[in-house]
Amino acid sequence: MKGAFLTSRVVRKGLQASTLQARQRSSLPEQAHQTASLVQGEPNYPVVATAIPGPKSQELMKDLNDIQAVGSVQFFVDYARSLGNYVADVDGNILLDVYTQIASLPLGYNHPRLLRAAHSPEMTLASVNRPALGSFPDARWPQKLRSALMSVAPEGMTNVQTMACGSCSNENAYKAMFIVYRNRQRGSEDLPPIEDQQSCMLNRAPGSPSLTVLSFEHAFHGRTLGSLTTTRSKPIHKVDIPALDWPVAPFPMYKYPLDQFVAENSAEDERCLQRAEEAIEEYNRAGKWVAGMVIEPIQAEGGDNHASPEFFQGLQKIARKHQMAFMIDEVQTGCGVTGKMWAHQWFGLDGPPDIVSFSKKMLTGGYYHTDKYRPNAPYRIYNTWMGDPAKVLQLEEVISVMKDDKLIENAADVGAHLMTGLNGIAERRPGLLSRIRGLGTFVAFDLPSGGQRDKLMAVLRSKGVVSGGCGDASIRLRPSLVFQRQHADIYLGALESALAELGGD
């Protein structure tokens, strides 16, 4: 594998000089670059051989466009040559990837332990025979759930329901909310009466009740119909698609730096909590009963927006007061990226949430839940596959690597290093970077405008760095858990060089 990344001595020498200049610009300690890589054989730095997308990618885009829309395709990847924190494209470019397949690679590309796990007989059987888990699971399925998903379950969460992706995880979690809420309204956990069963087939009450889920401005929870109703980040996700009349509340929009606006941000928490409760009461009075609320610990797609522990504690109290579900969507924030296994562990909640959904770096989708939200009859929460045992086998190995290599601690350390570097750049280039924020490596910053953000991302890519945008003018970092200080320094050096290029100095 290592040989696939060898370039000419001239190219390597030039890149080494460029990396040295980046280190000097970023004013970060030299010893940070001497850490051994957690993925043996990965490149030491990016290599840019062509424009990106290059000629081969452009040819493939034309080919694909004959059968499928390609407007979102950035370039074509050579997955065989990608390794660790570096993604290779079909034109010979090797890019430092701080976006990692939209936040979904826990150990980067081609981690050797995952490759070994992929060749096991157990993985072959799971892949070839992909079972309908709700009806025909393998004999080892209970043990695999315990050794993988339940071994990292949030405290107090005693059940897990596997699914295939984030959207379907949230969709089925909403159904669990509705079932429990309706049981409470009827005063019984028995199967619904015959009138309900008949009327639901006509999409009418009482079998199809007027129940809703509260979500928050700028949220992203998926693109299927129910989850799309709770998604409120970008119009392109929703326009022309029918949506349900469900309540929405504001998510706190803080002033930065946080330590200079404590009173203002506390008042913003109170405003948003009050608006959330008002929305619940308004919908309940109208008979559109709010069965639960769903919220991200850090709003991702909508702009990497953070809120205080006190805000989340307040929401949990409101949910309990109104006897509704309190659900936390950890699709992007889960799996150790914030310096804890689950981001909501930072909030000091009074007991567990009712439901916690996951996907992305967890490889499989699904949701944890308390006993209360276990379905009261077969097939009420069901689909053909209900997840993928091959992904759970991979996750089992990922969790083992996370423990062996202390990757959650690594995320906390590297995240602090990134924040220090970004704040240093902001001080040297006032007016360009703002709202620098993050937990662990779940880090973001703003540019003065969306146009400047997009230009900066393009220049970063020309320097061999893949990054992602979010919100109106934010750049978000979503590196793998094997992202280390030396990778952070390469990123920071490229960022400062790109800013200088855009600024003309």
Delimit the domains of the chain by residue range.
2-113+404-503, 131-379
Q: What is the pLDDT of residue 453?
A: 97
Give CA–CA dist 270/278, Å, rounded.
Answer: 12
pLDDT value at residue 9: 31
Pairing of strands 86-88, 94-97: antiparallel
Q: Which of 465, 500, 499, 365 is nearest to 85 (CA)?
A: 465
How far apart (Å, rounded) are the C-alpha atoms in residues 125 and 505?
58
Q: What was the pLDDT predicted at 504?
A: 54
Q: Which residue has the tokens 């909590």?
A: 273
* The predicted structure's pLDDT at residue 505: 54
| CB 121 within 8 Å of CB 370 | no
User: Angle 164-360-116 (CA atoms, 0-180°, nearest 5)?
Assistant: 85
Residue given tokens 């405008």 in the structure block: 449
Question: 67: which 2 tokens?
Answer: 């059968």
- For the chain, helix, strand, coil in percent to 5 are 45, 15, 40
**The predicted structure's pLDDT at residue 13:** 34
Query: Do the strands 248-249 and 211-216 form a parallel or antiparallel pair, or are they unpaired?
Result: parallel
So which residues are the catalytic ones?
Answer: 220, 329, 360, 384
Give me the CATH topology for the region 2-113+404-503.
Answer: Aspartate Aminotransferase, domain 1 (3.90.1150)
Which residue has 């350390």 as its token pair?
A: 413
Asked whether 174 and 226 are in contact (CB, 8 A), the reply is: yes
Return d(Cα 16, Cα 46) in angstroms, integer.
Answer: 10
Beta pairing class for 94-97 and 465-466: parallel
Token digits of residue 478 = 């979503």
pLDDT along the chain (505 residues), means of 10: 32 36 37 72 97 98 97 97 98 98 98 96 95 96 97 97 97 98 95 96 97 98 96 95 97 96 98 98 98 98 98 98 98 98 98 98 98 95 95 98 98 98 95 96 98 97 97 98 98 97 74
Rounded-to-integer distance, Cα 262 and Cα 257, Å: 9
Q: What is the pLDDT of residue 503?
A: 80
Q: In the numeric block, which tokens belong to residue 27?
A: 């004013």
- State the DSSP H helix or E strand holding residue 349, giving kind and residue range, or none if neither: none
Residue 419 main-chain phi, psi, to 5 deg: -60, -40
Return the pLDDT at 35: 75
Q: Please provide the DSSP assignment of 27-61 as one string.
A: T--GGGGGSPPSSTT--SS-B--S-SS-HHHHHHH
CA dihedral 34, 40, 41, 47 (to 10 degrees): -60
Structural fold of domain 131-379 = Aspartate Aminotransferase; domain 2 (3.40.640)
